[in-house]
Amino acid sequence: MLDAKKIKELLIILSGGAGHGKSTILKKIVDTWAKRDLFSNFRLLFFLDLKHMEKPCVIDEILSQCFPRDKRPGRDDLIRLITDNQEESVFVLDGLDELRPGLLKSKGNTENGTFCLYNVLHDKVLQDSRVLVATRPHMVERLRKDNQNYALVHTSGFTPENTDQYIRKHFTDDRKTEGDGLIECLQGKELLKNMARIPLLCQIMCIVFGDDGKLSDRLTTLYERFTRVLAMRRCQENENWENELDSELKNLGKVAFEALIEGQNQLVLEFGDRESVLDTSASGESGFIQLESYTTSSFARKTIVTFLHKTFQEFSAAYFFAHLYDENKEEFHERLNQINPDNVRAMEYLLRFACGISSGSQATSLILEHVQKQRNKEELFHKVKLQLRGRSYEEGVGSEEGSRDGGQSSGEEGLIDEKGPSGEEGSSEKERLNVEEGSSEEEGLRDEEGSSVEGGSSDELELTIDQKQNLTRLMLFESGWTELADKLDRPTEAKCDGQEDLLAMRYYLQHLSQPLVELSRLTVYCTSHEELAPLSEIYSLQHGKTTLFIYLNVTCRLHEWLKLLGEKLPIDNIRSIRKIWVYVIYSVSEKADEDMETTAEVVERFHDQIELELDIVDLSHVDERVLGSLSRVCKQIRTKVTLWQRTYDDVIRLANALAGCDKLLEVYVRRTNLHGHLASIAPLVSLSLYSLELDSCGLNDDDVPDLISILSAGHGLRAVSVHGNAFSVVGVETLTAHHRNLPKLRTFLLE
């Protein structure tokens, strides 16, 4: 991630779910830099644990976290050192999702405010330094909303091979059979196999399986067994260990719950003379918490508690919260009401654990009902808009998220026409061309609703309707309480991002008493082969009117993905036409895809239902053989092509390879010098093309005649962008005059 040849952006987000190894990756980077094995071009590297950040100033935090008290440089000296060496400086920031509320919003105009975290993350200071920040996915949107210059890197955990390797290393030679048994156990259960890809869960599975010889496919049960194993090991001679574990989890959980609500990360408890049953740090074993004791001025013994992972804090908080219903219903409802639209997204794992722990109790039903009632600004805005328009909600006006993936909103007659997801009538032009068509009345409502609902000072983003419904299905799945399926909102549209969402959706559909006939559209995002596993059963549980949209992110072996998809779904069945659409985002890797030629044969089976988005970046391996294969593929399926920082020769070679391709829909050429060579890319502007972008391509007025020549009068283009070039007013006027000859053009973007 610090290799400028692979990631040119200076601002980088490392995103991953709970336990996916984000902190471990960052610490590995720091360790590698410190040993000078790599990254020797960086003179300075600062690692900050954001959960311990108390003030918004990054400089102050560096002095506090990175230097011993007796060796701290002067503040001005540190600022001078960093500003004089910006290009050789790296800031590694871990745990943005654990940052205290308010710290990210604090900007300030004072000297301290200049180097506040907000300014660093939004590229307002230290603009030549590299900034790497790790976070759970829910904070990614907040960062990229205000600054699109971030490179986004996802960590999805172990590969299946990595998982097996980790398990074999965990179980030493004399316990080899246990390791083999765990690997065999995972092979037979798709959910457990997927969970084992998460490094933290893989470690917990090893510990639990080594003690029990079996595993549960529920996250809550896995954590419950983990704490029990730790407590049993810690208290081998204590017959009362179960009661002590229960008491400690509740005591920890109460403070942990308050800390999660308030955004605090340091927990202080009074343990007295009692030892913790979950602190195993002294023995060197994997543990749950670390304890550090101190004595106050009044001689009271206090203990600072540090959870070794955030999910341990969330599990403890959920344990306290779930048991509170039976012990103090009034306090339970008070705590439940502390979860609101501003923080419910950050409370995902607490809520999932709570439903698992309280399974079979009325508490589970109350928690699910409460989460479903959380109204965000999106829902409030649409409710007001529908009332003003005099239409009922059942008429199916799409939400703000509703048309993101192409196709029409669910309320329109027919989701997609015969031309498919990108056909002339069937596509969502608002999303594809980035055209805002909202009326002034709607914009006014949006502003009014936004200002009136904003209220609190939370740094979290609210749940969208889709995210809220996904969360409640995950909570249902964790609870294992099938009767509650009918109590969940019945969606007309749904999105599943990854296997967890898919498995929760399958569980929900399996246990509904009545089929979900209202579901008109299901959108699925997949990044691994394993995530395709539940699709077959989900499709069989769908009503005949449901259209399935599948988005695949692929970097190699595209034919294997498509072949597997064909095995899981009746893609080539005549009945599936207009019911299954596949969007493939294929990023050509720097290594040759040896089987690219096979892809052309595979797509022929269901070419009418696939759209390919082809990303070719500066490091992508594109030789003549690959171009030939791409040419055959692109002539069979609808295609969008993006070229990033390729040479002029590469663009010309691709243009020649795609000549005559009547399914080419969108072409984006970015940061490639095409000055004086525009006429050569004419083959890319096929009659089927409806969006052309030439971004920062070194064009000026001398290129206007060639640009006009490739955009022939009467062409059906809907969008043209020449952003980042150097046209004069006269050049723009000439282009504008010609664009009047393009009857379907709706967007002409200069800046």
Residue 417: predicted pLDDT? 34
Residue 406: predicted pLDDT? 37
Q: Are residues 295 and 232 in the same domain?
A: yes
Q: Are residues 295 and 277 in the same domain?
A: yes
Per-residue HEC secondary structure of 288-341 comes to CEEEEEEECCCCCEEEEEEECCHHHHHHHHHHHHHHHHHHCHHHHHHHHHCCCC
Q: Are residues 30 and 103 in the same domain?
A: yes
If one counts the domains in the chain, the total is: 4
Residue 604: predicted pLDDT? 64
pLDDT tens-digit readout, 199-209: 888 989 999 99
Of the candidates 165, 338, 162, 176, the residue with the CA atom closest to the CA atom of residue 259: 338
Q: Are residues 336 and 188 in the same domain?
A: yes
With respect to residue 117, please indicate whether it lies within any of the assigned structural domains: yes
With respect to residue 468, please indicate whether it lies within any of the assigned structural domains: no
Give the bridge partners for 551, in sequence order. Answer: 525, 583
CB 98 within 8 A of CB 88: no
Residue 404: predicted pLDDT? 33
Sequence letter at residue 345: R
Output the CA angle 307-309-310, nearest 5 degrees: 90
pLDDT tens-digit readout, 476-485: 999 999 999 9
CATH number of the domain where residue 60 is located:
3.40.50.300
Answer whether residue 403 shows pLDDT above 50.
Answer: no
Question: Model confidence at 558, in pLDDT bands (50, 70, 90)?
Answer: confident
With respect to residue 675, please indicate whether it lies within any of the assigned structural domains: no
Q: Are residues 148 and 178 in the same domain?
A: no
Could you say which of 595, 617, 644 is where a domain stops?
644
Could you say which of 154, 183, 204 is where a domain stops?
154
Could you say which of 91, 124, 154 is where a domain stops?
154
Of the candidates 625, 636, 628, 643, the residue with the CA atom closest to the CA atom of residue 664: 636
Residue 281: predicted pLDDT? 57
Consecutive H or E run containing 380: helix 377-389
Query: Which tokens hold the place of 93?
Result: 């920031």
In this prediction, residues 129-136 reach a mean pLDDT of 92
Q: Are residues 98 and 220 in the same domain?
A: no
pLDDT tens-digit readout, 660-709: 788 889 999 998 999 999 998 998 898 899 999 999 999 999 999 999 99
Answer whether residue 389 shows pLDDT above 50.
Answer: no
Between 411 and 223, name the one with better pLDDT: 223
Query: Which tokens hold the place of 619?
Result: 């490091």
Q: In whole angstroms, what separates CA 295 from the centre of its chain?
A: 43
Output the CA angle 228-231-234, nearest 5 degrees: 150
Q: Are residues 177 and 84 in the same domain?
A: no
With respect to residue 16, please indicate whether it lies within any of the assigned structural domains: yes
With respect to residue 411, please indicate whether it lies within any of the assigned structural domains: yes
Question: Model confidence at 294, in pLDDT bands (50, 70, 90)?
Answer: low
With respect to residue 679, please indicate whether it lies within any of the assigned structural domains: no
Q: Are residues 15 and 135 in the same domain?
A: yes
CB 387 within 8 A of CB 354: no
pLDDT tens-digit readout, 436-472: 333 333 333 333 333 333 333 344 456 788 889 999 9
Residue 447: predicted pLDDT? 36
Between 580 and 530, name the one with better pLDDT: 580
Query: Which tokens hold the place of 739?
Result: 């664009």
Between 670 and 563, name the one with better pLDDT: 670
Backbone φ and ψ for 298, nearest 5 degrees, come out as: -95, 15
Report the chain's mean pLDDT, rounded to a whole number: 80
What percentage of the chain exceeds 70 in pLDDT? 79
Q: In whole angstroms, what separates CA 276 from the centre of its chain?
A: 36
Q: Are residues 317 and 410 in the same domain?
A: no
CB 250 within 8 A of CB 319: yes
Question: Model confidence at 269, in pLDDT bands (50, 70, 90)?
Answer: low
Q: Are residues 43 and 130 in the same domain?
A: yes
Of the candidates 187, 188, 190, 186, the residue with the CA atom closest to the CA atom of residue 208: 186
Q: Are residues 142 and 167 in the same domain?
A: no
Q: Are residues 126 and 220 in the same domain?
A: no
Between 116 and 101, name the one with better pLDDT: 116
* Cβ-based neighbours of 352, under 8 Å, separated by 6 or more: 219, 220, 318, 471, 474, 475, 478
Residue 63: predicted pLDDT? 92
Question: Model confidence at 298, in pLDDT bands (50, 70, 90)?
Answer: low
320-324, 601-605, 734-738: range with lowest mean pLDDT: 601-605
Name, of 101-110, 348-357, 461-470, 583-592, the range with top average pLDDT.
348-357
With respect to residue 72, please indicate whether it lies within any of the assigned structural domains: yes
Answer whether residue 594 shows pLDDT above 70.
Answer: no
Give the structural domain span for 427: 397-454
Residue 287: predicted pLDDT? 74
With respect to residue 534, please indicate whether it lies within any of the assigned structural domains: yes
Collapsing DSSP states into helix, strand and coil, what is residue 69? helix
Consecutive H or E run containing 375: none
* Cβ-based neighbours of 378, under 8 Å, separated by 6 or more: 399, 400, 401, 462, 464, 465
Between 185 and 295, name the one with better pLDDT: 185
pLDDT tens-digit readout, 495-514: 998 888 999 999 999 999 99
Confidence (pTM): 0.75
**In the sheet that 267-269 helps form, which strands lie side by side, from edge to edge?**
267-269, 301-307, 289-295
Q: Where are the beta strands (DSSP E) in 518-590?
A: 521-526, 547-554, 580-587
Q: State how far the Cα of 505 lies from the Cα of 486, in Å rounded to an integer.
A: 13
Residue 308: predicted pLDDT? 82
Q: State how far the Cα of 27 lies from the Cα of 22, in Å rounded to an integer.
A: 9
